[in-house]
Chains A and B, each alone.
Chain A
Amino acid sequence: MVEWNFLAVLSDIDLLLLGLGNTLVVTALALAFGIPLGLFLALSRLSTIRPLSVGSAFIIEFFRTTPPLVQLFWFFFALPILIDVRMTPFIAAIVTFSIQSSAFFAEVFRGGILSIDKGQWEGAKAIGMTYGQSLRRIVLPQAVKRMIPAFMERSIELLKTTTLVSTVAYADLMFQANDLAQKTFRPLEVYTVVAVIYFLLIFTFSQISIAVEHRLARSGESTVR
C-alpha cells in the first residue's frame, strides 16, 4: 500500500506557485502577440493579392501541421545559429507559442470574417467606407462576437501547450514540478498536485468558456468553430 505524503510538496508549494505564475505569463504574452498576428495572417489569407494569400496560407498550414515541440526546438536550438542572436528559453517560448497559436487564431478569424454576410461589406462600401473602415467598424465587431467560444477554446489549448517549455528549461509549472520531484524524491505527490493545479485552472477556464457560449446562444448569436 502506498503511503501518500504531501508534506514535502506543501512545504515547497511556493516553488510550484512561482512556476504557475510563469506559465500564466507565457500564456498571456503568447496570446497578446498571437491574436493580432492571427488577424494579420487571416486578412492576408483572404486578400485578393495572390502572393500574400498564398504566403500566409503556407505559414498557417506549416504551423498547424508541425508539432509544437519541434517548433520550440527549432526556435531554441536552430534559430540562434541561423541569425546569430542570443536565445533564452523565455524568448523561444514566446516566439514559438505566439506564432503557433497565431496560425490557429488565423483560422478562427477567417471563419468569423467569412461567416459575415457579403451584404455587410457592400453596405459599408455603398456609404463610402474604405476596406479598413468596413473591416473595423462593420465586419469585425460582428465576427468577433461569433468567434468568442472558438477563441477561448484555442486559448485553453495554448495554456496546455505551454507545458512544453519545461523541455527547454523555462521555469514553468511543469519544470518546477520536475525539479521538485527530483529534490524531494516524491514524484507521486508532486506530479499529482501539479496535475490537480492544472486541472483546477483549466477546468475553471473551460466552465467560463461554456457559460459564455450558452450566453451567446441565448442572445441568438451563431458561433463559428
Chain B
Amino acid sequence: MQHTWDFATIFQNWEVLWVGLKGTVVMFLVTVVLGLSGGLVVGMGRYAQNSALRWPATAFVEIFRNTPVLVQIIWFYYAFPILTGIEVNPFLAAVLGISLNTMAFSAEIYRAGIQSIEPGQWEAGKAIGMTYGQTLRRIIMPVAIKRILPALTNRGIEVFKMSTLASVVAYVETLNQAKLIADLNFNPIESYTAVALIFFVVLYPVVQATYALERTLRKSD
C-alpha cells in the first residue's frame, strides 16, 4: 500500500493547531519560570548548614527526581484534590507536576554549580565584610551561573518536551489538538508528523545554540 502524503487537511485546520501551540507556549513559560526559579530556592536549601532546611529540601529533590513526571501529573490531577479538597483543573495539575519535577532537577544543577566554586571565594567575600546573601549574589552566583548555563538550557529543552504530557489530563496543547485533527480527518500520519516537525524546528536551533555555548564556555574557562 502506498500512502499519499497530504498536508492540506492540516493547513485547513491551522486554527485548531494554533490553539494547541498557544497552550504549549503558556505551559512551557509557566513551568520553566516556576521550575528554574523554585529550583534555586530548593538548591540553596540542599546546600544549607541548617538541617531543618537541608532535610526537607533533600526529601523534596529525591521524591520528585525518583518518580516519573507522568505519575506526578496524574497524582496531582486525581489524588491531590481528594487529599486537600482543592479543585484541580488539567492546567494546574500539569503545572504542578512539571514545575515541581523541574524544581527538583534544577535544584541539583544549582547545587553542583555553587559547590564547584572554590571555598576561597566564600572566605574572600566574608573577609571584606559581605553577608552570606551578598557573597552569594555578587561573587558566587555570577561565576556559578556561567558554569551551569548549558545544564539549565538542557533542562529548559526537557521542560518544553514535557509539556506534551499535559495532554494526558486533557489540557489543550499541541499534541492534544493534533489528536483531535487526526481523529476528525483520519490523517494520523500527517497530524503526528506535523507535531514532531514543529518540536524539531523549535528545539533544533536551541540545541545547536547550547552546543555552541558549551564550546565557548569551555574555551573561556
Give, as a whole number of angstroms, the nearest-CB distance from B89 to chain A: 16
Is B188 a contact of A65 with CB atoms below 8 Å? no
Asked whether any CB of chain A lies closer than 8 Å to the CB of B168, the reply is yes
Interface residues of B (CB under 8 A from A): 1, 3, 62-63, 65-72, 74-75, 78-79, 82-83, 157, 161-165, 167-168, 175, 178-179, 182, 188-189, 191-193, 195-196, 199-200, 203-204, 207
CA distance A188 to B88 in the complex (A): 14
Is B179 a contact of A73 with CB atoms below 8 Å? yes
Is A78 a contact of B189 with CB atoms below 8 Å? yes
Q: Which residues of A have CB within 8 Å of B192?
A: 70, 73-74, 77-78
Q: Which residues of B have CB within 8 Å of A77?
A: 182, 188, 192
Q: Which residues of A have CB within 8 Å of B3?
A: 81-82
Interface residues of A (CB under 8 A from B): 2, 61-62, 64-71, 73-74, 77-78, 81-82, 84, 159-161, 163-164, 166-167, 174, 177-178, 181, 187-188, 190-192, 194-195, 198-199, 202-203, 206
Residue of A nearest to B62 (CB): A203
Tell me if B's interface is mostly helix, strand, loop or mixed.
Answer: helix
Contact among A64, A82, A178, A191 for B189, CB-based, below 8 A: A82
Is A67 a contact of B199 with CB atoms below 8 Å? yes
Contact among A61, A177, A188 for B83, CB-based, below 8 A: A188
CB-CB under 8 A for A199 and B164, given A65-B200, A66-B196, A73-B175: no
Is B189 a contact of A67 with CB atoms below 8 Å? no
Q: List 14 A-B contacts (CB under 8 A).
A: A61-B207, A67-B162, A70-B175, A73-B178, A73-B179, A73-B192, A74-B193, A81-B189, A159-B68, A174-B74, A188-B83, A195-B71, A198-B66, A202-B67
Is B161 a contact of A67 with CB atoms below 8 Å? yes
Contact among A66, A164, A167, A203 for B200, CB-based, below 8 A: A66
Is B196 a contact of A206 with CB atoms below 8 Å? no
Tell me if A's interface is mostly helix, strand, loop or mixed.
Answer: helix
Is A70 a contact of B188 with CB atoms below 8 Å? no
CB-CB under 8 A for A61 and B189, given A69-B164, A70-B199, A73-B175: no
CA distance A167 to B170 in the complex (A): 12
Q: Which residues of B have CB within 8 Å of A181?
A: 78
Residue of A nearest to B24 (CB): A67
Is A84 a contact of B69 with CB atoms below 8 Å? no
Is A62 a contact of B200 with CB atoms below 8 Å? yes
Contact among A65, A166, A178, A199 for B67, CB-based, below 8 A: A199
Q: Which of A66, A159, A178, A206 has the most CB of B within 10 A?
A: A66
CB-CB under 8 A for A191 and B199, given A73-B192, A206-B66: no
